[in-house]
Amino acid sequence: MSENAIKLTDSAADRIKEIMSRADKKTIGVRVGVKSGGCAGLSYMMEYASDIRPDEEVIEDKGVKVLIDPKAIMYLLGTEMDYKKEQFSSQFVFKNPNETERCGCGESFNI
């Protein structure tokens, strides 16, 4: 694939570096995927990755490694991953150009 499925903002990369510094030493990066659920049908998921699974897309951007579940690549193409910190909450935010619908709470989406 010539272009990364996901691009990271500086804020997202910095936050991933921060959480990776506290992770188990066997952890090599974060895995991003989508799962069924939420009121709009799909939701994003993130977890620590300690290995690279067959057919995963591996993206190294701004000094961090993001592994993308092969079943999720078609949903994530062109997505920008950001990290927003506000007064009462902080979270990773996915700006996905493929979304056609997003639920009111922002937890799920549809394509």
Question: pTM (2 decimals)?
Answer: 0.80
Write down the pLDDT at residue 67. 94
Write down the pLDDT at residue 16. 92
Per CATH, the homologous superfamily of domain 6-103 is: HesB-like domain (2.60.300.12)
DSSP 12-77: HHHHHHHHHHTS-TT--EEEEEEEE-STTSEEEEEEEESSPPTT-EEEEETTEEEEE-TTTHHHHT
Write down the pLDDT at residue 22. 86
pLDDT averages per 10-residue partition of the chain, 111 residues? 78 92 86 78 86 92 91 88 87 82 58 60
Distance CA 108, CA 19 (A): 23
Domain spans of the chain, in order of start: 6-103
Write down the pLDDT at residue 86. 84
Residue 104, exposed/middle/buried by CB under 10 A (0-12, 13-18, 19+)? Answer: exposed
